Structure 1
Amino acid sequence: MIVRIMGEGQVTLDDTSVIELNTLDDELLATIQADDEEGFRRTLGALLDGVRRMGTPLPDDTLEPSELILPASDATLDEVKQMLSDDGLIPG
């Protein structure tokens, strides 16, 4: 799976990594729905760290279609809510 972190680039993740990261994705969605800013910050950081740690970066001059787009680490809770309501960039 190819994942884009907004403002950073793309990485490829194997199926095992995706399964592991799905738990954090579910937790992130729960923090967004609960308007839990502290939990959102913590979980977004953990999710992005996991993607960076488990993923293999694609070269900067490569642009592949991304199957998942994650917000930048400095995204606000309101910005991510807007992303979800507009295009559903982060599957729930």
Structure 2
Amino acid sequence: MIIRILGEGQFDIAEEALDRLNELDSAVEAAIEADDETTFRPALVALLEGVRTVGVRHADDSLDESDLILPPDDASIAEVRQMLSDDGLIPG
């Protein structure tokens, strides 16, 4: 799976890493549902750091399409709310 972090680039993510990323995504989703800015920011940063940690940087010159697009770590709660699907930022 290829995940793009807006403004940063793409990361190749192994299937076995998705469960952990879904846990982090759930924390982001819960903070948004509660409209809790205090927990939202650390949850979003943790999710993006999780992608950076488990992912392998995809070649910058690659034209491969991203499977998922995540917001940058400075995105507002309103911006991320607009990006959410029924399954959160990371389906599963």
TM-score by length of 1: 0.88
Distance in 2, matches of 1:17 and 1:89, equals 16
Asked if structure 2 preserves the Cα contact closer than 8 Å seen for 1:68 and 1:89, the reply is: no
1:67–1:89 CA distance, 2 compared to 1 (3 A): farther
- After the TM superposition, which parts of structure 1 deviate over 6 Å for at least 4 consecutive aligned residues? none
RMSD between aligned residues: 1.8
State how many pairs are aligned.
90
In structure 1, the residue matched to 2:48 is 48
Secondary structure in 2 matching 1:22: helix
Secondary structure in 2 matching 1:3: strand
How far off is 1:36 after superposition?
0.7
Deviations 1:43-82 (A, max 9, x none): 0000000100110011110121211111001101011112
What letter is aligned with 1:34? A
Structure 1 portions without partners, runs of 5+: none
Structure 2 portions without partners, runs of 5+: none
What letter is aligned with 1:73? D
TM-score by length of 2: 0.88
1:89–1:43 CA distance, 2 compared to 1 (3 A): closer
Deviations 1:7-65 (A, max 9, x none): 00100010111111110111111111110101110100000001001100111101212
Identity of counterpart residues, as a percentage?
Answer: 49
